[in-house]
Amino acid sequence: MTSLLAHLSPRRVARWLLVLCAIYGLGWLLWSASSALTPFIIGGILAYLLLPLVNRLNARMPRWAAILLVYLGTLAVLVGFFAYIVPPLVNQFTQLIGAFPGIDQIQQWSGLLMDEYQQLLATLPVGMRGEVEQNIAVLLNNGLSTLRTNFLGYMQGLGAFLINSLLSVVNTVTFLLGFFLIPFWLFYVLMDQEAGVAVLDRLLPRWLRPDFWALIQIVDHDISGYVRGQIILGLSVGTAAGVGLLALDLFGLNVNYILLLAVIAGFTELIPVIGPILGAVPAVILGFIDSPTTGVA
């Protein structure tokens, strides 16, 4: 601490204050332009994920060849995903939407519910029957009054939704234009990683360099370990869920939407604490809709 204070001077403090102000200004600018910078943020995350693999391959081949090989491997994975995973997912999702009750079925359920309601009223004493009907009528009238009162608010919300949808389309076009730049920008980031580190090292004060790079190494080790662990956990849970649901289907429990439920379980596992619960809810609901035995299983 004493050696650190010895390096501090009014001029150095003023310089660091200017640096902090510049960082704050840069952060505000990045936040204001976050929609346009989203593709580059995604590219930065991809660069962080792909950099260890590129560095390992770089020990055996030129760096440009290592990056090209990683690109080809990533492209192969994406093509396989969209060719063999996405179509069944879309098909199962379409089937799930089609399995929802339609208007005719809802009307049929409403008629059955009204019949049950009338039968329930018929079992009540005459005096109580009128009181129950009056209370239900009051609740319905209050609901309709609230709906009429809030109709203007609903229309305003609809207008805001349409405006936001139009802005979303514009942002989507901007995002797509930036998305096509990601491979080229990512290539230069991966190619010039060592040069960027060298430039940053020269910008740092000599006395700060060891502590700064030690901190970066610790943070990088922890973040990369956490990301790898979460990816492995999500893949493992998704695979285990798919295998388990397939086994239940083979044993005659008639489990539908196996791939869709497995993907949901894998992705929700990435959510801390409540992820496993969220991943199990769709499977349990669909199981009970099919039959109580399937839901319990």
> Is residue 213, in this structure, part of any structural domain at all?
no
> Is residue 12, in this structure, part of any structural domain at all?
yes
Confidence of residue 216 (pLDDT cuts 50, 70, 90): confident
Q: Per the structure, how many domains does the chain have? A: 1
Rounded mean pLDDT, 146-172: 61
> Is residue 18, in this structure, part of any structural domain at all?
yes
Rounded mean pLDDT, 280-294: 63
Distance CA 3, CA 202 (A): 21
Burial of 138 from C-beta contacts in 10 A (0-12 / 13-18 / 19+): exposed
Q: Is the pLDDT of residue 122 over 80?
A: no
H helices of the chain, where?
2-7, 10-32, 34-58, 63-80, 86-99, 103-122, 126-149, 151-179, 182-191, 193-203, 209-248, 258-268, 275-290, 292-296
Q: What one-letter code names the amino acid at 94?
A: T
Distance CA 202, CA 186 (A): 23
Q: What is the pLDDT of residues 267-280, one digit of tens each?
A: 888 887 777 787 77
Rounded mean pLDDT, 246-255: 78
pLDDT at 68: 92
Estimate to the nearest angstrom the gap between the alpha carbon of 76 and the chain centroid.
Answer: 23
Q: Is the pLDDT of residue 194 over 60?
A: yes
Confidence of residue 175 (pLDDT cuts 50, 70, 90): low
> Is residue 11, in this structure, part of any structural domain at all?
yes
pLDDT at 201: 84
> For residue 69, which of 82, 80, 81, 59 has the smallest C-alpha distance?
59
> Is residue 43, in this structure, part of any structural domain at all?
no
> Is residue 238, in this structure, part of any structural domain at all?
no
Q: What is the mean pLDDT of the chain?
A: 76
Q: Is the pLDDT of residue 183 over 80?
A: yes
Q: Do residues 278 and 234 make contact, with C-beta atoms less than 8 angstroms apart?
A: no
Q: What is the pLDDT of residues 61-116, one digit of tens each?
A: 898 899 999 999 988 998 998 888 888 888 888 887 776 666 666 666 666 767 77
* Domain containing residue 22: 1-32
Q: Do residues 294 and 284 make contact, with C-beta atoms less than 8 angstroms apart?
A: no
Burial of 162 from C-beta contacts in 10 A (0-12 / 13-18 / 19+): exposed
Tokens 């209370």 sit on residue: 135
pLDDT at 261: 85
Instruction: Name the DSSP class of 181.
Output: T
Q: Is the pLDDT of residue 159 over 70?
A: no
More confident residue, 290 or 13: 13
> Is residue 13, in this structure, part of any structural domain at all?
yes
Confidence of residue 176 (pLDDT cuts 50, 70, 90): low
> Is residue 26, in this structure, part of any structural domain at all?
yes
pLDDT at 161: 61
pLDDT at 184: 85
Conformation bin of residue 252: beta by default, left when phi > 0, alpha when psi is -120 to 50: left
- Segment among 19-23, 47-51, 64-68, 88-92 with least mean pLDDT: 19-23
